Structure 1
């Protein structure tokens, strides 16, 4: 009967071979060529996870803001109507509507500008992945040098 190879023994022999070759440059290069593809695969998975997390957070925030905005719009229209009606007791109704509309437009432009600043593309930058890859790069340089 043929004996099955023991994976633990094979792994031990491979580690022993790596240890014996680790002092030579060729051994280090062989080890590096085995580890680099796995490292990049893991880094890409981390980047994908970070980007997915950022997109999901942005999606949830956008839905919440849109829903709240719709409800707020209904109340805001009523407040504007009452401001126009109140101001029309002092000035002509057309002028009251013009004044209220102008003030609302200015406030709206300020709000849009503030919201634009929060959607900065830098928020989508995968910081952890970049830092991790920088550390990996320095570790590889340290091993090769």
Structure 2
């Protein structure tokens, strides 16, 4: 292909066609504009969807916090009831001490179980996702060669 033909072909494709249909250049330009608009609209939709989901999550977190707050006071009331019930059998100070020791033992056991669970989750790296990405990269490299 000589350079003269390339220039002529380009100048002909930028002119309006005699039958009124758009040229390839106009079609590519329109496609580019429409694609850009589509991407902007998709981003706008994603932002709106994320905002709605964030709002719902905030409401859920708030309700969960209130539930935890009320559960804390319900538990404190149950502890007081246990102390008062035990105070009928032993001295009140001893009843409070017994309940406190039982609660500390429960806290120690839960703390050790929680520590073990944290150790099993370390390091906090998404190893499955990393392996998947490595496999994808290897597949792409294999496809290119």
TM-score (norm 2): 0.48
**What is the TM-score with the length of structure 1 in the denominator?**
0.48
Larger Rg: 2
Task: Identify the structure with bigger relative contact order (alpha carbons < 8 Å, sequence gap 6+).
Answer: 1
